[in-house]
Amino acid sequence: MNWIYKEKVISEISEMPEGTIGFIYKITHNTTGQYYIGKKSLYSHRTLAPLKGYKRNRKVVKEMKWQDYCSSNDVVKTWTNEPITKEILRFCQSKKSLTYYELQEQFANNVLADEKSLNENLMGKFFKRDLEIS
C-alpha cells in the first residue's frame, strides 16, 4: 500500500519537499472507518563507538523503510491484508515540527473523544481512559 499526499502517490524521498525529515500521517481502515494519526521520521540517527585510535564517536544517518511503515499502533499493525488508506497530512523539516504538527492534527480531529480513533493517548500524557467525555 502506497502513501498518498493530496491525491498523489509518494514512493520516493525525491517526491517530497526539500529538507523533509518526516511526515504526519493518517491511516484509515476503509471498511470500519477507524483511523490512527501519527508521525514518521524518514531517517534514523545512531552513534557508534570511535574507530581504533580515534576518540570521537561516529554518527550514522540511515534512511528508514518508511514506504512499508504501517504505524506503531498494535491494531493498525494487524491490518496487513485489510483495505486501508495511508495518507500523508503534512511534511515536516524538523523533529520539533513533527511533534507539534502531530499533536495539532490529533487535537483538530479530537482523537481522544472520537470512537473511531485508535489513538489512546497524546504525547504519553493525556489518555482516553482519564477523560470525562460528556
Model confidence, pTM: 0.86
Q: What's the rounded Cα separation, in Å, for the pair 66 and 63? A: 8
Q: How confident is the model at residue 10 (pLDDT cuts 50, 70, 90)?
A: very high
pLDDT digits (tens, 9 = 90+) for 15-69: 999 999 999 999 999 999 999 999 999 999 899 999 999 999 999 999 888 998 8
> Taking a C-beta distance cutoff of 8 angstroms, is the pair 41, 21 a contact?
yes
* Average pLDDT of every residue of the chain: 91
pLDDT at position 102, please?
A: 96
Q: What's the rounded Cα separation, in Å, for the pair 59 and 99? A: 23
Q: What is the mean pLDDT of residues 9-13?
A: 91
